[in-house]
Structure 1
Amino acid sequence: MTSLYEEQTNQVALKKQLVSSISHELKTPLMIMQVTIQGILDGVIPDEEQAEELLNVVDEINKSSIMIQDMLQIYRLDDAKSELEISEFSLSNCIYHFIDGFDAVIKQHNLQINLDIKKDIMIEADNKLIKRVISNFFTNAIKYTPENERIDIEISDTKNEAYFELINYGANIDPENLENIWMPFFRGEDSNTKERLKTKGTGIGLYLVSEILKAHNCRFGIENVDKGVKSYFYINKKVE
Structure 2
Amino acid sequence: MSIRGRIFIIVMSCLSMGLLFAFIVAERDLGASLQNQIQIELQKQGQIIQSSLGSLSQYTDLNSLKDEIDVFAEASQSRVTLINSSGVVISDSNIDVDDLNLIDNHSNRPEVIDAQNNGMGWSRRFSDTVQQEMLYFAILDPSAGQQGVIRLAVPYIYFDQAFRSLNTSVILILVVALIASIMAGIIAGNYTRENFLELERAVTRLESGDLKKKTIKSLPTKRVDEIGSVARSLSSISVDLKNQLTLLAKQRNQFGSVLNDLGEGIVVFDELGIVNFNNDEALNILEVSDLLNISIDDLNLQPIKLMFDQAKKKGKYAMEFEIESKLGNKWILAQMNAAKATKEFILVLHDETQLRDMDSMRRDFVANLSHELRTPVSVIRANSETLLDGALDHPKDANKFTKAILHNSERLTEMVSNLIDLSRIEYGDKQFNLEDVDLKNKIHRVMEAMTSLAAEKDIKFVFDYAGEAIVKADHGALEQVLNNLLENSIKYSSKNSKIDIKLRKQDDFYRVSILDSGSGLTPEESSLVFNRFYRTAKARAESKQGSGLGLAIVKHLVNQLGGEVGVMPRKNGGSRFWFTLKSK
TM-score by length of 2: 0.36
Match of 1:42 among 377, 389, 399: 389
2:521 aligned partner: 173
Match of 1:214 among 551, 559, 566: 559
Match of 1:32 among 375, 379, 396: 379
Q: Distance in 2 between matches of 1:11 and 1:74?
A: 19
Secondary structure class of the residue paired with 2:415: helix
Q: Distance in 2 between matches of 1:178 and 1:82?
A: 27
Deviations along 1:106-136, whole A, 9 cap, x unmatched?
4554434321224442222222122111112
2:156 aligned partner: none
Contact 1:164 1:232 in 2 (8 A): yes
Q: How much has 1:164 moved relative to structure 2?
A: 0.8
Deviates more, 1:141-150 or 1:67-76: 141-150
Deviates more, 1:162-171 or 1:229-238: 162-171
Deviations along 1:176-210, whole A, 9 cap, x unmatched?
32232122222234599877xxxx31112111211
Matches within 5 A, 1:80-159: 80=428, 83-107=431-455, 109-158=457-506
Deviations along 1:83-106, whole A, 9 cap, x unmatched?
223333211112223322333454
Match of 2:579 among 233, 236, 239: 233
Matches within 5 A, 1:179-218: 179-188=527-536, 189=538, 200-218=545-563
Q: Distance in 2 between matches of 1:85 and 1:208?
A: 17
Q: Distance in 2 between matches of 1:117 and 1:80?
A: 34
Q: How much has 1:8 moved relative to structure 2?
A: 7.7
Deviates more, 1:149-158 or 1:38-47: 38-47
Q: Distance in 2 between matches of 1:141 and 1:37?
A: 34
Q: How much has 1:6 moved relative to structure 2?
A: 6.3
Contact 2:458 2:496 in 1 (8 A): yes
Q: Distance in 2 between matches of 1:12 and 1:173?
A: 23
Contact 1:151 1:169 in 2 (8 A): yes
Q: Structure 1 residues 175, 62: closer, same or farther in 2, change over 3 A? A: same
Q: How much has 1:53 moved relative to structure 2?
A: 1.0
Secondary structure class of the residue paired with 1:114: strand
Higher relative contact order (CA closer than 8 Å, sequence separation 6+): 1
Q: How much has 1:153 moved relative to structure 2?
A: 0.8
Secondary structure class of the residue paired with 1:179: helix
Q: How much has 1:233 moved relative to structure 2?
A: 0.5
Secondary structure class of the residue paired with 1:89: strand
2:14 aligned partner: none
Contact 1:113 1:151 in 2 (8 A): yes
Bigger-Rg structure (1/2): 2
Q: How much has 1:82 moved relative to structure 2?
A: 5.9
Q: Structure 1 residues 35, 129: closer, same or farther in 2, change over 3 A? A: same
Q: Which has the larger share of helix?
A: 2
Q: How much has 1:81 moved relative to structure 2?
A: 7.5
Deviations along 1:153-172, whole A, 9 cap, x unmatched?
11232452121111124643
Letter of the 1:64 partner, please give it.
L
Q: Distance in 2 between matches of 1:6 and 1:120?
A: 47
Letter of the 2:399 partner, please give it.
A
Letter of the 1:88 partner, please give it.
D
Q: Distance in 1 between matches of 2:565 and 2:460?
A: 24
Secondary structure class of the residue paired with 1:147: coil
Contiguous gaps of at least 5 residues in structure 1: none
Deviates more, 1:173-182 or 1:74-83: 74-83
Letter of the 2:401 partner, please give it.
E
Secondary structure class of the residue paired with 2:417: helix
Secondary structure class of the residue paired with 1:98: helix
Deviations along 1:55-89, whole A, 9 cap, x unmatched?
11111111111111111111111233762233332
Q: Distance in 2 between matches of 1:78 and 1:108?
A: 34
> Percent of aligned positions with the same letter in both sequences?
19
Q: Distance in 1 between matches of 2:564 and 2:511?
A: 10
Contact 1:118 1:155 in 2 (8 A): no
Letter of the 1:165 partner, please give it.
S
Q: Structure 1 residues 184, 236: closer, same or farther in 2, change over 3 A? A: same
Contact 1:166 1:232 in 2 (8 A): yes
Q: Distance in 2 between matches of 1:126 and 1:21?
A: 30
Aligned residue pairs total 234
